[in-house]
Amino acid sequence: MDPDSSAKSSVFFSSSHPVVSSASEILRDHEEEPLQKEDHAKLWRHTSLREVELFHGSYRKYQFAKHFHRIPAIGVIDRGSMRTFCRREEHVLGSGTVLLLNPGEIHAPAPAGESGWSFRMFYLSPSFLTALSPGNRPDVATFKRAFVQDRELANKLFHLHVALESKGQRLEFESSFASIFHDLADRYVDRKPTDLDVRADATAVDTALQYLEANCHRNLSLEELSQHSPYGVSHFTRVFQKTVGLTPHAYLLQLRVERAKSLVHSGVPLSDASGALGFVDQSHLTRHFKRIFGVTPGQYARAAQA
């Protein structure tokens, strides 16, 4: 679909959105849970805008695991309807919904109907976010709501994402992002820092998070983690999950997959990455990588080398 031609349509959220990856390629990459023939997923970076990672996925039955991103993620649902867990609630979101996820925000996209859904995401690097954020202060900006109905903003996000599937100039893309960030700052950004609604013991949990970061490659136990808090194993686990939104084990897997993604992007073989990060084997890494990112490490590696 040509961005200019799509702009002429009064409704762009339809099943005729651009196909960016062949069905056969995706079937190869989703070994454990093969997608339907009409489904596809792609993760890439534009050669003129390497600071932004782009994702386009179209699914009928696929369900993501609960996960989070370390950097802000914004996007739009461009077909069908999606359900997801976020901010301790289940949501059903229709086509045209704008997605605004803060770093660390737990979510788990899944289909809300028989026809499935399609969505487009932007994952923004800290340096790029700093350059475009009002006052160059992205560290104190948080999205007030995770999901909003804003057709103007949805259109801007959609057309920019489509444009980033083809050739273009950096200045053009940055100008579009600047317009989008202006809208976000005016309508949906809270400039005051926020805390989690429930923080049973912030110091204990923060200490555990730092310990997990430093030791994610090791075979850790709950007893070892709880020793860095004033709680026993059972209470520590409840406090951690209530505060973070994931169990310690699920959080550890997320850390390992995030590290694996960086290693794969830098050219490290999958077998070496899985061994270095404590995965049982390469298939163990592949399974969890796909559950979080929607594509396998192999597909991500090919995109990184493109």
Give the strand pairing for 117-124 and 49-59.
Answer: antiparallel
Architecture, CATH, for domain 3-190:
Sandwich (2.60)
User: Which CATH number is associated with domain 202-305?
Assistant: 1.10.10.60
As a whole number of angstroms, the distance between CA 61 and CA 108 comes to 13
Is 202-305 the same fold as 3-190?
Answer: no
What are 143's two structure tokens? Answer: 């999205």
Amino acid at 169: Q
Taking a C-beta distance cutoff of 8 angstroms, is the pair 58, 66 a contact?
A: no
* Rg of the chain taking only CA atoms, in angstroms: 20
As a whole number of angstroms, the distance between CA 221 and CA 199 comes to 23
- Per-residue pLDDT in tens (0 to 9) along the chain, 306 residues: 333 333 322 222 222 233 333 332 323 333 445 456 677 888 899 988 888 999 999 998 888 989 999 888 999 999 999 999 998 889 999 999 999 999 989 999 999 988 889 999 999 887 787 766 554 455 446 889 999 999 999 999 999 999 999 888 787 888 888 788 878 878 888 765 444 434 556 788 899 999 999 998 998 888 888 888 888 777 788 888 888 888 898 899 999 999 999 998 888 888 898 889 888 888 999 999 999 999 988 888 888 776
Taking a C-beta distance cutoff of 8 angstroms, is the pair 30, 183 a contact?
A: no
As a whole number of angstroms, the distance between CA 118 and CA 116 comes to 7
Asked whether the whole model's pTM tops 0.75, one would answer no
Spans of all domains in the chain? 3-190, 202-305
As a whole number of angstroms, the distance between CA 74 and CA 252 comes to 24
